[in-house]
Amino acid sequence: MASPRTAESAAVAPACKEWAAIVQALLEGEQILDVRKGGIREDGRHFAVQAPRFWLYPTVEHQRPELLKPAYRHWVDDTVASAPPDRAIRVEGWADVVGLARVREADDLAALDGKLIWSHDYVESRLKWKRRDPLWVLALRVHRLVEPIVVPFRDGYGGCTSWVDLDGLPADPASLPSEPALSDVAFEARYRGAESALSVPFEPYSAA
């Protein structure tokens, strides 16, 4: 089970683990959304957003090309080929949580289909897994680092958990030179489009 974050560690931005292909989509502005359910090492096996700002941790584990839309399937092989050796982690960006929604209805996922690079069937399977838990939809304002950072892999980073604390990174990602993945205008249009597609509203992040 993942250890709960202390008040001291919560002041340091955690890293959110996600498929490397999805991280690439976020960094390139192909999507502004991430959809999550808790892994088997989550605290209580339930997902929760741990911080309003976090590092993007690209992982090549569990990626399968057939679970992406055809135009993006080559990104799986591309991210595997370009991954640093010895399971080191190339951190290329970070995200602010602009809004979040808890989705329970398949119709909401159908409405978001054009806004995600995952296949619809795969996203629907995430919704159906642990059916009593909602699927979290995170709207993210993503920034690319001007200079990516490579940090060594540690055993504690492995396993099915969403959040880890990576050693060797600044406490605040915004302290490093970075550029938004999308312009303000483009992001606002994407955000409003996603918000209007859902039957439930986006809510602001709350640590409560």
Q: Which CATH number is 48's domain given?
A: 2.30.130.30
pLDDT, tens only, 62-112: 899 999 999 999 999 999 999 999 999 999 999 999 999 999 988 998 999
> Is residue 119 in a domain?
yes
> Is residue 186 in a domain?
yes
Q: How many domains does the chain have?
A: 1
pLDDT for 5 equals: 47
| Helix (H), strand (E), coil (C) string for the chain | CCCCCCHHHHCCCCEEEEEHHHHHHHHCCCCCEEEECCCCCCHHHCCCCCCCEEEEEEECCCCCHHHECHHHCHHHHHHHHHCCHHHCEEEEEEEEEEEEEEECCHHHHHHHHHHCCECHHHHHHHHHCCCCCCEEEEEEEEEEEEEEEEECCCHHHCCCCCEECCCCCCCCHHHCCEEECCCHHHHHHHHHHHHHHCCCCCECCCCC
pLDDT, tens only, 38-49: 654 556 567 889
> Is residue 92 in a domain?
yes
> Is residue 207 in a domain?
no
Q: Which domain holds residue 65?
A: 12-197
pLDDT, tens only, 153-194: 999 898 878 899 999 999 999 999 999 999 999 999 999 999
> Is residue 111 in a domain?
yes
> Is residue 5 in a domain?
no
